[in-house]
Copies of this chain bind each other. A is one copy, B any other.
Amino acid sequence: MFIIGERINGMFKDVAKAIKEKDKSVIQDLALKQISCGANALDVNVGPASANPKEAMEWLVKTIKEVTDISLAIDTTKQDVMELGLSLCKSKPIINSVNANEEKMKTLFGLAKKYNASIIGLTMDKSGIPKDSEGRMELAMKMVASCVECGIDMADLYLDAVILPVNVAQPHAKEVLKTIRDSKLLADPSPKTVLGLSNVSQGSPAQYKSLINRVFLAMAIANGLDAAILDVTDKELMDTLITAELLVEKQLYCNSYLEAYRKK
């Protein structure tokens, strides 16, 4: 499982404050903590309230680069912020995200080629998020076709079936699970799959969020999930991830398999 740490996001108050006050230590601590918990990449999002998102992105990426070379997922809907972020990355970056609108794909796949970036491709377009797996698969197919056209390697495409909060959109969860499974059939070699996990419990009572996240993660791994953006500092969530991978034989069993995974 390719794990993208979700915490460096201006949506979180501590990060928004750190960006505003240019407090490097908060960001660098979050970067190092997520890596020590098992992150393979870090999501970087300046948040919705940033007055100058380009400046904020530049500061975030440079701040993180002072302490680690890990891959960064540049998480923005603004094209100029995206290109700036990508241009500053040391290791192979990730575009988070592209949707299935023709112009969006054309532009962002161009950036992916230019900066040798991986892509998180959302199964949504101008009309929004399809209500079922069939609709999502149609958009996933568009994205795969567009990648092939642009000469982008399937190994660089992570399809994100866009999980919605279970408290307001309960029927979507099983459609997302089906999309994760069916996505594997779209091409050979197949595209990868990713989830923005925490969204599933957005708006649910605080005491249930972690439970909902970890159960949905296990269910998604049972359906072949390859990657997730998640709270890697949530120990119980990571215990679930490691155990689920064990049960589909992506980790080797030993009596101290949790410790063994964490020592790697």
Contacts and interface: CB of A to CB of B under 8 A. Distances in A.
Given A222-B218, A223-B222, A174 B248 contact: yes
A94 interface: no
Contacts of A215: 218, 240, 243-244, 247
Nearest to A236: B211
A204 interface: yes
A166 B216 contact: no
Interface stretch (A20-28, A57-65, A252-260): A252-260
A30 interface: no
Contact of A243 (B171, B212, B239): B212
Given A211-B239, A243-B211, A255-B205, A170 B219 contact: no
A66 interface: no
A249 interface: yes
Nearest to A205: B255
How many monomers of this protein are in the complex?
A: 2
A243 B248 CA distance: 21
A170 B253 contact: yes
A85 to B, nearest CB: 33
A219 B244 contact: yes
Nearest to A222: B219
A255 B171 contact: no
Interface residues of A, number: 35
A31 interface: no
Interface in A222-264: 222-223, 239-240, 243-244, 246-249, 252-253, 255-258
Interface string A153-190: 00000000000001100110110010000000000000
Nearest to A213: B243
Nearest to A203: B255
A250 B257 CA distance: 32
B211 A174 contact: no
B173 A247 contact: yes
A105 to B, nearest CB: 30
A137 interface: no
Top 5 closest A-B pairs, CB basis?
A: A219-B222, A218-B218, A215-B243, A173-B247, A222-B222
12 contacts: A170-B252, A173-B249, A174-B247, A177-B222, A177-B247, A177-B248, A211-B239, A211-B240, A212-B243, A219-B221, A219-B247, A219-B248
Given A211-B240, A222-B222, 16 more contacts: A166-B246, A166-B253, A167-B255, A170-B246, A170-B249, A170-B252, A174-B249, A204-B255, A208-B243, A212-B247, A215-B240, A218-B222, A219-B221, A219-B244, A220-B222, A222-B223
